[in-house]
Structure 1
Amino acid sequence: MTVLVTGAAGFIGYHLCEALLARGETVLGVDEINAYYDPALKEARLARLEGRPAFRFQKLSIADRAAVEGLMAGAPEIDRIVHLAAQAGVRFSMIDPYAYVTANLMGHVVMLEAARHREGLKHFVYASSSSVYGGNTKMPFSEEDPVDRPVSLYGATKRADELMSHSYSHLYGLKQTGLRFFTVYGPWGRPDMAYFSFARAIARGEPITVYAGGTLRRDFTYVDDIVAGIVGVLDRPPAGDAPRLLNIGNNRSESVSRLVSLLEEGLGRRAIIEDRPRPAADVTDTFADISAIRALTGFEPKTPLDVGIPRFLEWFRGWNAGH
């Protein structure tokens, strides 16, 4: 049988495909490979997957209903779906909101329809985000906390996805788990994220923009830990029809200033810092309560920031030298 992974050329999607292939799964990956960030990075990830006998790839947009229906019709062996494809980025949702409506809302509905029409589908796992917690101040964030006041359109679309998924579980008995990811980082990561863009600027002797004096805090989660959690959840579909939502993070909130210090140490250069006020779409703090996913799967993040950042930088030096 086959796992369908949407967003297979993306950061988390690529690493997930690697892990699934390593344990002997057959994987069908899809991605539209858009230009939100350098498509060369997406193509490079994909090149590491293509050519393996258990992997095949189809370029398409998840918001293209006809294309997805055609894909599903031609792949009757799909029995699990991990839906990671989305328009990412909190601040970019203020620049091009329509991209989020297309990918995150229409795309999610298209994938829900594909899933509910697939007989024998064991599990539909999809990416949500810590952004659904908005400006909540109670720490750590728990799945039982209110999530009705998002502070970014991106967060609003991810909460909308959760609500649509809830209705599909209720109406059609679709077995689903939504994963609220917390600031995922690591090798082959996204250039738009702070750790990557900071590393590139520091290496080039260019200034970095830090908000609120570096006091903003994030639950930085290493990609290998995230992937282990996804696989553990994928193997454990809900027993009943009730949809499931789980935090998946490092269970530790650390300041952006600490991130900068680790990058400076690893790169052997001081950052040129330009301090600015916190943007309205950025939250002050994120911190994941992971007791639910731990109880379900035994999930235990193993990679603290001072281990994960050197691993990222080891990859980054090679990539940055050629790009």
Structure 2
Amino acid sequence: MRGMVRCLLGWGLASMLAGAGPAEGQERDLAVTVRTDPGGLFLPNAEVIVLRTGERRFTSSDGVARLRLDRPGEVELRVRQIGYTFRDVIVPAEATAHEVLLQRIPFALPAMRTRASSACDGITPNDGALEAWALEQLRESAERYATFTKAYPFDVTVLRHTVQSPGTQRARARMEREKTHSGAWGERYRRGEVVLESRLGFSVAILFLATLGDSAFWDYHCASRASVGGDASARQVRLLFVPAANVSTPDWEGEAILDSATSALKRVDFRLRVTGHVGPRRFEGYTTFREVSPFIRVPDTTAAMWWRTDPPVAGEWGMPSVVQRIHVEHLKFRKEPR
């Protein structure tokens, strides 16, 4: 009998401990529905961010993002979508579902300035409200691209057309088909490594979409000027960016063009600011974008041209040494966006 009591006591203690365990680290599911305000329309591909952990989820076509929370209690979320005002919300501890309404951003300028560092003094205007607005939308577009490709990776096939004009020889043309995946597409920005010398000459890391959301890039670049153009039905914001005053190596300057109504990134023009004698003497090009899912844009076509030598004194640049066009031929998701 004593042995039985000991056994029952042991079983009861184990049950109590087992019951206490999940309460400490209990997981729960939370469904977040995102709609427009006004209108109540579902917003697909809205980004729901758990601020404590940085976990990110995109809403499906019916505007729902499903989260698995690893602890009880309130949870603080940030919900955002391109072209809409983001919202920070606190979801009660007992909630299993929560609805968030987002309002479209009116084309009005925020009362803040854009200054990455003192290296931008004299470059970014003192009243840089339009620069701040455009820079915020540009960085969000690029950050969302990086997050989206992690959630929905894809394989991509690009066609690379290259035409070389070596001096007086006949121009040579070639076409190459290249396959890669979203995780390896494009090169990361590293200060001082935009142009690298090699035994065969030099290589240039072309400005890629994800770079425009990278804090490492904006640590050394300034939003120099922004302007609004186009007619009332298709207004565009053009944001000029340049290397900061403390950058002495070859680096990118250029112009990002955004749709003022939707904040969608339409095109990026880029030029290499040449310093010293390393690399090309002139390098310029542009990238256009396509929408692969609502509010998500990826590179479509990049064209670039460069000159290997300086022009004659007081002379014209003439034809570029190389012209290259890279176009997305095929893009296939490994996991289809919902």
Does the pair score TM above 0.5? Answer: no
Q: Going by fraction, where is helix more abundant, 1 or 2?
A: 1
The TM tier, using the shorter chain, reads under 0.3
Q: Going by fraction, where is strand more abundant, 1 or 2?
A: 2
Larger Rg computed on CA atoms: 2
| Structure of higher RCO (CA pairs closer than 8 Å, 6+ residues apart) | 1
Return the TM-score normalized by structure 1: 0.25
